Chain A
Amino acid sequence: MNNPLKPALDKKTRKFKEYNSYNLQSNNYYLLPFRFIRLDEQNELLVNEVGDFLIVSSGTVERIVNKKLDKISDEELYADLIAAFFISETPIPALLDVISTRYRTKKSFLDHFTALHIFVISLRCEHTCHYCQVSRVSENKKAFDMQRHHIDKGIDLMMKSPNPHITMEFQGGEALLAFENITYAVIQAKEKAMLLNKKISFVICTNLAVITDEMLKFCKEHEILISSSLDGPSFIHNKNRHRNGNNSYELAVKGIEESRQVLGFDRVSALLTTTNLSLLYPHEIVDEYYKLGFRNIFLRPISPYGFANYNERKNHYKTSEFLDFYKKALDKIIELNLRGEFFREDYAAIILRKILTPFPVGYVDLQSPAGMINSVIVFNYDGKVYATDEARMLAETKDYTFELGSLDTHSYEELFYGDKARFFSDAWTNESLPGCSECALQSYCGADPVFNYATQGTFIGHRPTSSFCERNMAIIKHLFLLMEKDARIKTIFRTWITGNN
């Protein structure tokens, strides 16, 4: 008797075919675009055009490319390669549209154009940090604070961004020294954003030394995020961040606590600046962040721009020393996670999100096309407009290469789509840069013409001697190897991108 349920049980899904339905007779398969790199002596990493990866044993790529795969004896590998779009049984893959859509998703950070608008609200500061590129100890507000007409024009330009969700970030010097300008700018920007139906977020970057209750009240009222600075325990922080009284650390910790109380725990973040001194203390720095209640840390290398270059001895440590520091700190962080504590390293989390999810990451230093102009723009205290924060630091050393124009004289179109922007665009996609174009890590990495120019003198740069390349290649490979060697670490890494413990 016919079983009435049979047809339903037999019904094939539309998406998945039985293994046998693939042509098992011939060895004719076609390559799809992918890149590869040797992770170590035993493993090769294959990454396809949309960032999906496979780790295979050494020698496998040679067999794939030279069409030596055997569909029967290499059944599992063959199926993986087909499923993950590394090879196809037809010259044009049947699921080409799916791959294209995935590609589009990976680049969707471009859809809305500039989100982050940095207003350098004052160049004045009461700290004299040895690595600081830009700030001035001065009472001269007229010379070093952003003038109101520049604030107005900056807000007008910001409102022209096609992006429905914009961020206005106040930087310095010490931004809070010009707090009256911040209150003015926030109120103006909020009104205009409301009229245009745009969502706007505000961030103040501050060392917190001069924060008051009144300022915090304003931040609470306008939902302003605080991005503070913390370089580690007091013996590192105070050595890096000079101020009268040698109490930068104490004021930062007090400021973080007060801000958390008023604004909420998650509304206050801290940024680490790594110096020569920090390199000796990876564990102590992680411990300090943990002790202060942070559950993440961003292990950033020091910027190579502007004034930082002048203090050779303190700041010109080698990339390899930074990598050593990074790996030790990351080990410590993983150890915390293995003990059941959630604690995330943000640079790794950005890269892992690119590796483990189909989505793009809005992080300006690791994008292709680069973050400059496409995602970030800087309105300087003197009305000049720069392509990135680093570009304005370069300008403080009298190098105006990345100055796009002035708030006084240039229109939105001239600044954002002008000849200069177009000129930079030649070097802002790693898909077309020498060395990067066939690099397997391309979709997890980025392009940074400003960095190339500042460190190597050309927008295109030279990958074999680039510290950007050396650092990213080493960190990305390290993350893959960690996941490959210990499944527990892969699980931890997944919690870093989902936020679920």
Chain B
Amino acid sequence: MNYDLNNGSLIIKVDKNIYSEDVLYKCLYWYTNKYTVFIETKDDHYYSVSIKLANDLSVNEETAKQLNEQILRDLIDFKLRDIITKETQTVRELIVAKAFANFQIDPQYDFDISDPVGFNPDNV
């Protein structure tokens, strides 16, 4: 990913066709501990992201390079997470719905349970 350094801010262009707004926000959220992040829609194809140190110090060339690499790696991870979340949404909803549907309290047995091979379920 190409980047610019402008007035102490790291500026990156993120391709909208590759990374959705969800992915971009979820990824950059984790940078808001140290950085102030601005996201702008530049045109139909790109977001422009400007990243500044939160305490108004300038981002130097070295940090900019590392930051750019790390953001790229994180964007890929968050894109993978997004694919999993979206692709599995129905199954997740089914799991949770089934888990709490038709609730019936398990019968409480009034004796110690044990297993012939000596595995005691109470200890697990």
Query: Are A435 and B30 in contact, CB atoms less than 8 angstroms apart?
Result: yes
* B48 CB, nearest partner CB in chain A, Å: 22
How far is A497 from B120 in the complex, measured between Cα atoms in Å? 13
B123 within 8 A of partner (CB):
yes
Query: Are B83 and A65 in contact, CB atoms less than 8 angstroms apart?
Result: yes
Query: Are B123 and A462 in contact, CB atoms less than 8 angstroms apart?
Result: no
A99 within 8 A of partner (CB):
yes
How far is A31 from B85 in the complex, measured between Cα atoms in Å? 9
* With A107-B99, A438-B85 as contacts: A500 and B94 at CB distance below 8 Å: no
Interface size class of B (residues with CB under 8 A): 20 to 34
How far is A104 from B98 in the complex, measured between Cα atoms in Å? 9
Query: Are A34 and B84 in contact, CB atoms less than 8 angstroms apart?
Result: yes
Contacts of A497 in B (CB 8 A): 124
* B94 CB, nearest partner CB in chain A, Å: 6
* A243 CB, nearest partner CB in chain B, Å: 40
Q: Is the interface of A mostly helix, strand, loop or mixed?
A: mixed
The residue in chain B whose Cβ has the minimal distance to the Cβ of A61 is: B80
The residue in chain B whose Cβ has the minimal distance to the Cβ of A494 is: B124
B96 within 8 A of partner (CB):
yes
* With A32-B88, A101-B99 as contacts: A465 and B33 at CB distance below 8 Å: yes
* With A104-B100, A464-B30, A464-B31 as contacts: A93 and B91 at CB distance below 8 Å: yes
Q: Residue B32 contacts which of A107, A357, A462 (CB distance < 8 angstroms)?
A: A462
Query: Are A33 and B29 in contact, CB atoms less than 8 angstroms apart?
Result: no
Q: Chain B 74-106 against A: per-residue CB contact (8 Å), 1 yes, 0 no?
A: 001110110111011001101110111000010
Q: Is the interface of B mostly helix, strand, loop or mixed?
A: helix
B26 within 8 A of partner (CB):
yes
Contacts of B91 in A (CB 8 A): 32-33, 91-93, 96
A100 within 8 A of partner (CB):
yes
The residue in chain A whose Cβ has the minimal distance to the Cβ of B76 is: A62
The residue in chain B whose Cβ has the minimal distance to the Cβ of A108 is: B106
Contacts of A101 in B (CB 8 A): 99
Query: Are A49 and B95 in contact, CB atoms less than 8 angstroms apart?
Result: yes
The residue in chain A whose Cβ has the minimal distance to the Cβ of B88 is: A33
* B30 CB, nearest partner CB in chain A, Å: 5
Query: Are A438 and B81 in contact, CB atoms less than 8 angstroms apart?
Result: yes
Query: Are A103 and B99 in contact, CB atoms less than 8 angstroms apart?
Result: yes
The residue in chain A whose Cβ has the minimal distance to the Cβ of B31 is: A464
* With A65-B84, A434-B29, A438-B85 as contacts: A357 and B124 at CB distance below 8 Å: yes
Query: Are A498 and B124 in contact, CB atoms less than 8 angstroms apart?
Result: yes
How far is A49 from B87 in the complex, measured between Cα atoms in Å? 14
Query: Are B123 and A49 in contact, CB atoms less than 8 angstroms apart?
Result: no
The residue in chain A whose Cβ has the minimal distance to the Cβ of B97 is: A100
Query: Are A35 and B84 in contact, CB atoms less than 8 angstroms apart?
Result: yes
Query: Are A464 and B32 in contact, CB atoms less than 8 angstroms apart?
Result: yes
* B108 CB, nearest partner CB in chain A, Å: 9
* A44 CB, nearest partner CB in chain B, Å: 9
Q: Which of B21-68 contact A (CB under 8 A)?
A: 26, 29-33
A499 within 8 A of partner (CB):
yes
Q: Which of A74-112 contact B (CB under 8 A)?
A: 91-93, 96-97, 99-101, 103-104, 107, 111
* B97 CB, nearest partner CB in chain A, Å: 8
- Please report A residues at the B interface, Cβ cutoff 8 Å: 30-36, 38, 49, 61-62, 65, 91-93, 96-97, 99-101, 103-104, 107, 111, 357, 359, 434-435, 438, 462-465, 497-500
15 A-B residue pairings within 8 Å (CB atoms): A32-B91, A35-B84, A36-B77, A36-B81, A96-B91, A100-B94, A103-B95, A104-B100, A111-B105, A464-B29, A464-B30, A464-B33, A498-B123, A499-B123, A500-B123
